[in-house]
Structures are given as structure tokens and as C-alpha cells.
Amino acid sequence: MKEESGAGECLWEHVPLGEPAPCDRYKHACCFYGRSVYVHGGRENSSLNDFWRYSIERNEWEQLKCTEEKLEGHSVVAYQLVLQGVLYMFGGMMDSAFTQGKCPLWMYEIDAAKWTLYQRQELETKCTSPENRKGHSAVVYGSSMYIYGGYLDLKGPSSEFLAFNFETKTWSLVSSGEHGPKRRHLHSAVVYSTAMYLFGGLNVKDEQNDFWKWNFDSNSWSSVRTSYGPPKTVGHSSIVCRDSMLIFGGSRPSCTPVNNLWKFQFNSQTWKKLAIPQDASHPSKVFHSLIGMGCSFQPEHKHSSLNHLNHRKAEQKETSSKQVPYKLGYFYSQRTNKVSAISDGNELEMKTFTQSLDLPVYSCTLQTCFEDSLTNEVQSILPTEKNLFSPFVEDKAICTAEIVEKDQGIQSQHISSLDMTVPICPDVLLLIGGKPLSNSRKITLWQMKPSNI
């Protein structure tokens, strides 16, 4: 297929940060839940073990209680378990004799601000729970976290495809990789509809640009073959935006990071390279994180299991009378013409793939749920002397309502449109951290509007 050029320039805007703020980093773990972005660990001059929460509304960072482990190349995903938000952090430990006997999975209960280290358990296959690894991918589908590949100390890249069920707290081996992407790390993966899509990475010594699809319905791998697409790359990040997969940045070993933005359209099965100005005012990154906010990045709920759907329905009934419209992310941003110079002489290191997903459901079955709180909600986001952020307010809400949809004979509830005027979450793509590091030492934060994509 011939190359499709972007319709316009995709503009990144630098988001200025106050104090306190985490130091800049790469190979960190990052996810989005509720109204906040969570960032853990990574590497600056050495491995880090700090844990931060970023408030979208206030443009403020807050340091949270953390584990003692210094982690890099790990992953973190978010899931709503019963009535509380939970973060699940996997891998990234510094390899040693001590860590080999330790389960590399932590659970962070957001409301309780509590960390729990999981204990090793036997699988149905009589294998122990997964070994520590770095540079793997982690996604959520239904009520499970799916881990692919990663680099295991002394063993090299892995082709294991593993699942951790949040409800039963058990691991299972999904596939050993004989008919799939083979061994690799520093790749990326996303979930769209009933499939996981995996791209690129490092297979032992060779960079890859192959593209794979795992079908959760048929439990099988298939290669997605196109005549045109991204070059071989590692350390990039991927995210789903509407009906497309976006891939940003990355590099090849001993090469300069790039700021390429690629778009794979699931319906047409075609790649498009989007136009980004090739100058110093736009970031070139490797081992960074992408976080998407707003309706363009909302996860689909069609893939939920029956038990997960029943849980969601019960939760929605209990909370619909007291939840308010989901408002989030009022950014004040300023373009800058300077970005730190690219550092030379640093060897390529492990990438953290992150995914923002399975956000808490803020839905109302009736329009009256909004009426009492609408006036206060609109008033609370108007700019004041102490609040410099410009609110993104749309004419109509497109995120919140309840519809009933049949999917394989199962009725499921998921988010759709509502024909009334309310403030909603803006569509914003965030780029967090990555190499090269900033000269200011503060973590780098860039934003892009999906309307430019």
C-alpha cells in the first residue's frame, strides 16, 4: 500500500509544571485512573523507587507512599475491583539472588493508599508464578491483566503470554509463543475490540517491525501483514485512539530517538505516518509513556466477561444516584521553543509499556442524575484568580449515558452519548518522561489534542 500523508501537522505542546514535581525519568511505569495520572519508578541516573500522582485539574504533583523496591522497565495497569480502584504493578526488579524468590507483582489500593506484595502460587500447569522481567507489555481485557514477553535475567527475551485474573488472583499461561510473535522485549501492545495488537520490539539481538494480533475469542495469533508501516523500532509507546492504534517515538540501539507518530486504522488495516514538524520544539523520545484522556481514549466494554458485566451492573445501580458527571483535565499549556539536547553515549535500556484503561464508570441511567449537580459542576470549573487552567467545555456530552447492547447474546452496559449540555473530559494525549532527559530535571510533560491526529 502506498504511504498516506497526514492531513496537517500534529502539534505537541509543552505543559509547564510547578513545585513539587518528580524528576525526569525513563523506563517508568505509568497509568491513568479516575482523575489522576500515576507514575512509579524508572531511571534517572540510577533506578528510582518513588511514586507520584498527577492531578489533571490542578496541574499539581503529589508524592505518595511507595514500596521499597527500585523498579525500572516494569508495568502498571488500573482496574476497578468491587468499589475501589486498584493499580497492579508487575516486574522491573533489579535482578539478584533475593529477587529471584520474590513474586514481582504488587497491588496498590488507591483509596486505602496501601501496597500489597503478592505471594508466589502454583499454577494449574504446576508452574510457579511468573519470573521477574523487564520491557514486557501489559494490557487489560475483561477481568484479567495480560503480560507478553519481557527480558528475564540470564535467560534473555521471553515468548510467554501470561494472564492474571483480578477476581481470582491467579496466574495462567495463555500461550508459550510457538505460533506468535516469538521472544521479544521493548515492544508495545494495546487492546481493541476483542483482540490485542502487538508491535515491534527487540528479538534477542534484532529489532522488529512485525505486527501481531491475538484474538481473545479464538485464542489464536495471526500476523497483520501490510505493505507499508513503521520501521523497526524499540522503546516506543502505543495507545488506542478512537478506531486507530497510535505508535509514537522509539529508536534503534545506538540511534537517536525519533518523534514519528504512526496511525494504524483497524477498519481499513492500513498505516498512516502523521506529519510532525521535525524541529527542536517537538519532543523526540524513547522509553516514555503515553496516556490518553477523554472519549477518544475511553476503553470499550464489549469484551467484558459475564461475571465482570454483572459486577459492573451492580456497581452502576449502587452508585448512579450519587455520582456526578465525569469532569477532568482543564489544561493551561504554553508552547516552548526549547527542548533539552539529546544525550549521547547512553546505552539503550528497558522500555516500560503502559496502558490507561478500565476507568471507573461514571454513568447515570436518567437525565435527572445530572440536574442537581450540573450548576455546581459548571461553576466549579470556571477560571478564577487561583485557577489558571482553561476549561475544555463541549456543547454536548458525548461520554456519559447508558445503553444496552447485545454482544454474543450477553447484554452489556457501556458508555455512549447523552443529548444534554454538560462539562466533559477533554480529549488529550499526554507524553510523559522518556529519553533524552530534560535540562531542568523536572519530568517532561507534553500534550496533544486528538483533533490534530
Predicted pLDDT at 396: 38
Which backbone phi and psi does 137 adopt, to 5 degrees?
Answer: -110, 150
Q: Specify the higher pLDDT residue, 199 or 367.
A: 199
Kindly indicate the confidence band of residue 94, based on its pLDDT and cuts at 50, 70 and 90. Answer: confident
Which of 351, 336, 354 minimizes the C-alpha distance to 435?
351
Closest by Cα among 47, 40, 61, 155 to 94: 47
| Mean pLDDT value of segment 129-156 | 94
Using the predicted structure, report yes or no on whether residue 104 has a pLDDT greater than 80.
yes
pLDDT in tens, 300-354: 444 433 334 444 444 444 444 433 333 333 333 333 333 333 344 344 443 333 4
Q: Which residue has the higher pLDDT, 42 or 82?
A: 42
Alpha-carbon distances, residue 131 vs 11, 49, 87, 105, 121 (angstroms)? 40, 20, 19, 10, 12
In this prediction, residues 218-233 reach a mean pLDDT of: 94
409 vs 130, residue with greater confidence: 130
The distance of Cα 277 from the centroid of its chain, to the nearest Å, equals 25
Count of other CB atoms within 10 angstroms of residue 423: 21
The predicted pLDDT at position 277 comes to: 77
pLDDT above 50 (res 281) = yes
The verdict on whether omega for the bond into residue 157 sits within 30 degrees of 0, i.e. cis, is: no
pLDDT above 90 covers a percentage of the chain that reads 51
Distance CA 281, CA 299 (A): 31
Note the pLDDT of residue 99: 62
Biggest alpha carbon distance in the chain? 62
Average pLDDT of the residues of the chain: 75
DSSP 26: B
Is residue 107 within 8 A of residue 87, CB to CB? The reply is yes
Kind of pairing, strands 261-265 and 151-152? Answer: unpaired
Burial label, 377 (beta-carbon count in 10 A; 0-12, 13-18, 19+): middle
pLDDT tens across 398-414, in order? 343 333 343 444 333 33
**Selection from 360, 354, 353 nearest residue 299 by Cα:** 360
Q: Which of 52, 60, 45 is nearest to 29 (CA)?
A: 52
Hey, what's the cell of 279?
524541529
Question: What pLDDT does residue 275 have?
Answer: 84
For cell 500476523, the residue is 223
Q: What is the arithmetic mean of pLDDT over 144-151?
A: 96
The strand pairing partners of 43, in sequence order, are 26, 47
Q: Which domains does the chain have, with CATH numbers?
A: 5-321+323-362+429-452 (2.120.10.80), 368-414 (no CATH)
Average pLDDT over residues 2-23: 76
Arithmetic mean of pLDDT, 83-92:
94
- The reported pLDDT for the residue numbered 370 is 30
Best-predicted range by mean pLDDT among 97-101, 247-251, 326-330?
Answer: 247-251
Please give the average per-residue pLDDT across 81-105, as a whole number: 82
